[in-house]
Amino acid sequence: MNGVDLKDALVAIVGAEHVDPTVDDYLTDVTENPPGKADFVVRPGTADEVQAVMRLAHERSLAVTPIVAGYNVAGIAIPRAGGLVLDLTRMDRIVDIDHDAMYVVVEPGVTFGQLKAHLDEHAPDLVYTYPFAPPSTSVVANALLDGLNNLSMRHGAMGQWINGVEAVLHDGTLVRTGSGAVVGSWFGRAPLPDLTGLFVSTQGTTGVVTRAALQLQPKPALRRRWFAFAFSLDGAYEAMRQLARTGSFDDVGLMTWPAGKMLFGATRDLVRDDDEPLAFLFVDITAATAPELDARVALGRRILEDCGIESIFHVEHLVHLVPRYAKLAELPTTLDFLLEFPGGGLTWVGSYGPGGRWLEGAEAGMAAMEAHGFPPFVVARPMSGGHYFVLRFVACFDKGDAAEVTRVRALMGELADLVLEHDYVPYKASADAARRILARAHPGFVDLFTRVRDLLDPDRRMNPGRW
């Protein structure tokens, strides 16, 4: 089939205004990953249209790369084998909210900003959870990639929030998982065989999700938010560990000192002064009653002070004194100081692993970053009540500087190996990190995953180049 015939076939499915041979905007992202290639961008508006596009791609042996916002910071939405870019942004409907079972059904184009506004208006007693990411990013993509949000310390990585999905397979078959595959409510994944996991962290290689049922949480009546400044990494880790294990706090996260410098506009030659904190923690405290909140506030202060952290500020007071901190006070938010770095480059290795190896891994990764000429920008958070931790290393760079791109690429590879050596596993793994994961994985895991891929994507046309 030539390009004209293919375009005509796509136009017949989605309409001429939703087929575009101009693909340049989809061939790169903010990372160090090289440009890709594609033939057409197609923007379906319904699951039926996704099915028809996938049937066409199956018949013509076309690669398909799904994308929504493209801010995954791992290069995993860059098309690698030509074919079609499946832009799902038109599929932006909030299909249903179940107030009793506390879940929402959304399409992949629904953004964090859109969902928050909808819940504020139609379900003010319920909340979702939000990341440090632009409000324009996809709620479903974040969940499918097992990302983390501001309630992940209490409730786990976002793949665990998915009650079930509707997805289109490589040949156009529509499937459903979770309770919604059997009954009229998408209340959960149990007690059925957990087929939802086939679509989590597989980066679009097993199917195109067209709907997901996502858990909501009751909106707490009372809230306090703190910033706390830590002058030692071991004290900061111990504070995170203890706060997580109490079960009394919604969120505890950490960013090291380069984030503070960049927030105030610094970009190059960052240096930490002796009297500046090594890291700052953000702590989220909620409660149903005033006595409960007072008890949690007192507990939090005692834990922080016992860990040597005495500089504790209410977010509202700190934002009043330093308005720039407002970017970190309310979610979702756009961290402009990262996305607008001169040269436009942003990348990271993020990983999940045991808390007992966190301090050692963080110190080793910070040393590696400095050895490659990058400031030691670390992001951390206890997850799922402290059962595991986040260890993420962030680098901003100039995409127009070939030498800097080479340095950051080498650094990301070294960091991927480093976290694995400390029993941490990269999440939202780049193609390079995925290769390193599989090289270390148990052969039985690799064999089973290969069998699943052979069944669900026998021609390796679904987001090729991943896993």
Distance, in Å, from the CA atom of 230 to the CA atom of 227, rounded to the nearest integer, reads 10
Q: What is the mean predicted confidence (pLDDT) over 11-25?
A: 96
pLDDT in tens, 40-60: 999 999 999 999 999 999 999
What are the backbone angles phi and psi of residue 295, rounded to the nearest 5°? -65, -40
pLDDT value at residue 252: 96
Determine whether domain 222-426 maps to CATH 3.40.462.10: yes
Q: 140's torsion region: left (phi>0), alpha (psi -120 to 50) or beta?
A: alpha
Q: Is the pLDDT of residue 1 over 80?
A: no
Integer angstrom CA distances of residue 128 from 36, 55, 94, 102, 141:
34, 34, 13, 10, 14
Yes or no: say if 211 and 166 are a contact pair by the CB < 8 Å rule: yes
- Highest mean pLDDT pick, 161-170, 271-280, 335-344: 161-170
CA dihedral sign of residues 168, 171, 173, 176: negative
Residues 94-218, CATH architecture: 2-Layer Sandwich (3.30)
Which residues touch 54 (CB under 8 Å, ≥6 apart)? 64, 168, 169, 170, 171, 172, 208
pLDDT in tens, 296-306: 999 999 999 99
Which runs of E-coded beta strand occur in 308-376?
Answer: 311-314, 344-353
Please name which of 241, 104, 107 lies closest in space to residue 163, comparing C-alpha atoms: 104
Average pLDDT, the chain: 94
pLDDT value at residue 318: 67
Domain 3-87 - what CATH class?
alpha beta
pLDDT value at residue 324: 64
pLDDT value at residue 331: 65
Q: What is the mean predicted confidence (pLDDT) over 332-345?
A: 79
Domains 94-218 and 222-426 in one fold: no
Distance, in Å, from the CA atom of 358 to the CA atom of 389, rounded to the nearest integer, reads 7
Q: What is the mean predicted confidence (pLDDT) over 61-87?
A: 92
Distance, in Å, from the CA atom of 444 to the CA atom of 455, rounded to the nearest integer, reads 17
Q: Is 40 helix (H, G, I), strand (E, B) or coil?
A: strand
pLDDT value at residue 26: 95
Which residues touch 417 (CB under 8 Å, ≥6 apart)? 436
Interior angle at CA 390, CA 382 and CA 214, nearest 5: 80
pLDDT value at residue 274: 86
Domain assignments of the chain as residue spans, ordered by start: 3-87, 94-218, 222-426
Q: What's this model's pTM, rounded to 2 decimal places?
A: 0.94
The pLDDT-based confidence of 265 (bands split at 50, 70, 90) is confident
Q: Is the pLDDT of residue 255 over 80?
A: yes
Residue 248 DSSP symbol: -
The pLDDT-based confidence of 131 (bands split at 50, 70, 90) is confident
pLDDT value at residue 315: 78
Yes or no: say if 398 and 345 are a contact pair by the CB < 8 Å rule: yes
Interior angle at CA 427, CA 374 and CA 141, nearest 5: 110
Which residues touch 376 (CB under 8 Å, ≥6 apart)? 256, 258, 365, 366, 367, 369, 370, 393
Q: What is the mean predicted confidence (pLDDT) over 140-161?
A: 96
